[in-house]
Structure 1
Amino acid sequence: MVERRPLWTFFTHAVLLLGLVVTIFPIYVALVASSHDTTTLIAGVPMTFGTHFFDNYARVILEGTAAPGAAPVGPMLINSAVMALGIAVGKIVISILSAFAVVYFRFPLRMVCFWLIFATLMLPVEVRILPTYEVIADLSMLNTHVGLIVPLIASATATFLFRQFFMTVPNELVEAARIDGAGPLRFFKDVLLPLSRTNMAALFVILFLYGWNQYLWPLLVTTDESMYTIVMGIKRMIAVGDDVVEWNLAMAAAILAMLPPVAVVVIMQRLFVKGLVEVEK
């Protein structure tokens, strides 16, 4: 029986509402700022919506701003989506195959290979960025989607998580698949992939956000405006030197940059939660 404590319930709800306000208020300010003109925002951000909402969004999507290098946001959103999807799908595919090989195949130095993969957690992109850039440049992958995606698709964390999950799969399933005449690939496709659905969904959300928010690597490998990502674009909109920053357009770009990750989280929320908290498969 759950004991009811009105005072404690009120306190917890008050804390939740306070956290919600702290989280939502900056987004509300950005949304309001994106509906005004630049002149209005110089004096301060009003708390009510203006009349330039659709004009600002149409301009930032199709034309960009007057800041140097501030290209239209439309192509940037496409580049960011391609990069995020490529990184998320690539990491999941490579990691699940790597974990499958480590768990279900016996070959020399099997665990050495796994721990070498796991040791790369200590080498983030920032540490190996110079040799990685040199390889991409030598392969003529600068200013390409392949150059944005390939160096970031290996994931020791995802490999470790899939390995730990595969080790919990009962051996009876493996034996039953062998009795039915299923080979390794059929066992992987018909048994392991369905069981890993929630894990893949949870990892997809996390890895999509990781790829979408990348800034340093796209900054290095892209010099063509047509290959800019949305995170780079927002930075260039506010780096104008002595000129007046068009905060209304920058805030509009920020709101647009937030929509795809929010949509991914909302659409996959149920599978994402299951993948994080579900114990029995």
Structure 2
Amino acid sequence: MVERHPLLNATTLVLLVLGLVAALGPIYLAVCSASVTSHQILVHGLALIPGDRLWENLGAVLHRADIGRMLLNSCAVSLIVVAGKLALASTSAFASVYFHSRIRHVVFWCTFATLLLPLEVRVVPTYAVASDLLSPLRTIVEWLTGLRLNLSINLLDSYAGLSLPLMASATGTFLFRQFFLTIPDELAEAARMDGAGPWRFFVDILLPLSKANFAALGTIVFLATWKDYMWPLVATSRPEMQTIALGTATFLPTETGQPPEWNLVMAAALLALAPPLVVIGLTQRWFVRGVTGVGK
């Protein structure tokens, strides 16, 4: 039982207020800085009081860059990655829990060990594979048969190239596996006695029970993909394929001595912030359930 004490309540309130300030403070500074002129920021630093140029700066951002296309690219890539990562994570966790193979634990822990190699570490081989998807196949065929294949598939500057390298998720597999382990074995046995096969058991029983897990992991994956900067920077060279994370950087100066337009950078950041806020608002209830384990 939690003890109610005035000092404890006051301390909790102070901590909550500090957390709220830490969470909303950068957004407030972005709104204030996006509503003033670039000269005011260069002279006085980041604005602490909102100005009267917010809509003007937002219009300048939309006029100088194809923000709509960038937002569409980010939405498309994020949704593709979410769908692919949830599908791979749930099915791989299902296989590791309910298919009793002698090497299932070895396969799972080898998969989990890939967390030691994030995308930043394997960006060079990932780029090489994305630029020539059939390169490993050609190498194997040439080694086995001596034949040279002239086939190649380039995934760069495409939605497939932006999304496929981000789909594999050892963390998602681990989260689904831990949840599946909490489901009683009697449920699987009852489904087997009713004549349900593995696929029907997965679709009709496990998936409805995993709604909170899907929402929590999907929200985290969407936000991580949305703000990813490194892989879109490497995998795209055409402006029409850039994401919004790259779009905000287009307002930074590219020539030495040119002053940065921080008001436009902050305005672009506000536009980039809107879709994630909508996603969090729509999935907040299920996200909390998935993280805390309530309602499973």
Deviation at 1:191, TM superposition (A): 0.3
> What amino acid is the match of 1:192?
L
Identity value in percent: 47
The residue aligned with 1:88 is 82
Q: Which moved more, 1:171-180 or 1:235-244?
A: 235-244
Question: Which of 221, 237, 247 is residue 207 of structure 1 equivalent to?
Answer: 221
Please say if 1:181 is aligned against 2:175.
no
Gaps of 5+ in 2: 133-152
- What aligned pairs does 1:56-135 form with structure 2 within 5 A after superposition? 56-64=57-65, 72-107=66-101, 109-135=103-129
- How many Å apart are 1:226 and its aligned residue? 0.9
Supply the distance in 2 between the matched residues of 1:134 and 1:57 (Cα, whole angstroms).
38
Cα distance in 2 for partners of 1:21, 1:162 equals 34
Q: 1:95 to 1:30 in 2, by over 3 A?
A: same
The answer to whether the Cα contact below 8 Å between 1:57 and 1:252 also exists between their aligned partners in 2 is: yes
The aligned residue for residue 52 of structure 2 is 51
Change (3 A) 1:231 1:280: closer
Judged with a 3 Å threshold, the aligned counterparts in structure 2 of structure 1 residues 99 and 11 are, in CA distance, closer, same or farther, namely closer
Matching of residue 20 in structure 1 with residue 20 in structure 2 = yes
Corresponding letter in the other structure for 1:186 = R
Distance of aligned partners of 1:188 and 1:23 in 2 relative to their CA distance in 1, 3 Å threshold: closer
Q: Which amino acid aligns with 2:131?
A: A
Cα-to-partner distance string for 1:198-229 (whole Å, 9 max, x where unaligned): 11111011111111111111111111111111
Q: Aligned-pair distance for 1:37?
A: 2.7
Given that 2:253 and 2:259 are in contact with CA atoms closer than 8 Å, whether structure 1 keeps it comes out as: no
RMSD, aligned α-carbons: 1.9
What's the secondary structure of 2:17's corresponding residue? helix
Matches within 5 A, 1:136-215: 136-138=130-132, 139-215=153-229
Deviates more, 1:181-190 or 1:42-51: 42-51
User: Structure 1 residue 274 and structure 2 residue 275: aligned?
Assistant: no
Alignment partner, residue 274 of structure 2: 259
Q: Is the 8 A contact 1:77 1:230 kept in 2?
A: yes
Q: Within 5 Å, which residues of 2 pair with 1:212-227?
A: 212-227=226-241
Output the amino acid matched with 1:151.
P
Structure 1 residue ranges without an equivalent (≥5)? 65-71
Aligned to 2:138: none
TM-score (norm 2): 0.86
- Contact 1:62/1:74 (CA < 8 Å) preserved in 2? no
Count of aligned pairs between the two proteins = 274
- Aligned AA for 1:61? L
By relative contact order (CA 8 Å, sep 6+), the higher-ranking structure is 1
Distance in 2 between residues matched to 1:115 and 1:26, nearest whole Å: 39
1:34 corresponds to: 34
The ranges of structure 1 where at least 4 consecutive aligned residues each deviate by more than 6 angstroms after the TM superposition are none
State yes or no: 1:245 paired with 2:245.
no
Distance of 2:288 and 2:210 partners within structure 1: 14
TM-score, normalised to structure 1, is: 0.90
Q: Give distance in 2, aligned partners of 1:226 and 1:273.
A: 36
Shift of 1:55: 2.2
Distance 1:106 1:14, change over 3 A: closer
Following the alignment from structure 1 to structure 2, what is the Cα–Cα distance between the partners of residues 87 and 207? 8
